[in-house]
Amino acid sequence: MSAVPETAMVLAAGLGTRMRPITDTIPKPLVEISGRTLLDRGLDTLERAGVRRAVVNVHHLADRIIAHVASRMSPAITISDETSGLLDSAGGIVMALPHLGADPFLVLNADTFWIDADGVHNLAEMARAWDPAAMDMLLLTADMADATGHTGGVDFTVDAQGRLARANAVAEGVIYAGAMILHPRIFEGAEPEPHSLNLYFDRAIAAGRLFGHCMRGVWITVGTPDAIPAAEAAVARAAAGRR
């Protein structure tokens, strides 16, 4: 593939419990970092990449998110309503499949974002690396040195061909950066019931079809209130470096 997929799924339905008390009144995707919500930062990235339509799932304080995205012209937003029951990462995608189509699409977490290095377009580079004949899922990954706000270890190890395997507490590896391209065939037979994308990661690893593409730039995750100042400082440093 050379072009970025025209459709994306944005996972925005989580409860954001680690972000309390902020998320008692504001859904986590609407938390602002340097004057821009996490959700808009993700949608802005999709817009720059040429994504035409984004399906956004909602659950916690859903009306706030629905109202917030109503004025966006690009990408066009379709709401996948999970207010009757939270479906977790994979269940939410399965429920939204009728809106996503039969072609490969992007999946984006609404609580992480990145700032491309100068001259780099990470989504476009990931799309160029996507090979549906060899891959079921291609994850955007980040090196630990490029991460802000990450408090855990690495998620995956990478072999010489770019295949991923679970890190299993090893020190060397990469972090999942909250974006991927996947082929919807992996959900064949799945029901829209609560279950995690980790199931599909493990299936793809077992088949040798989970790959990673390492981003270049600054990757930022905002899991707790005390991560907000660090995120804003990282945004400021990136902006200062481009002046």
Query: What do you get for the CA distance between the two ends of the chain, in Å?
Result: 34
How sure is the predictor about 7, in pLDDT bands with cuts at 50, 70 and 90? Answer: very high
Q: What phi and psi values does residue 41 have, to the nearest 5 degrees?
A: -60, -40
pLDDT of 204 above 90: yes
pLDDT of 187 above 80: yes
For 111-145, the pLDDT digits (tens) are 889 988 888 899 999 999 999 999 999 999 999 88
- Give pLDDT, residue 16: 81
Measured CA to CA, the distance from residue 180 to residue 169 in angstroms comes to: 23
Measured CA to CA, the distance from residue 207 to residue 203 in angstroms comes to: 6
Q: The whole model's pTM is what?
A: 0.91
Distances (CA, A) of 131 to 107, 168, 192, 217: 16, 26, 27, 23
Q: What count of residues does the chain have?
A: 243
Sequence-distant (≥ 6) Cβ neighbours of residue 98 within 8 angstroms: none
Decide yes or no: CATH 3.90.550.10 for domain 7-241.
yes
pLDDT of 149 above 80: no
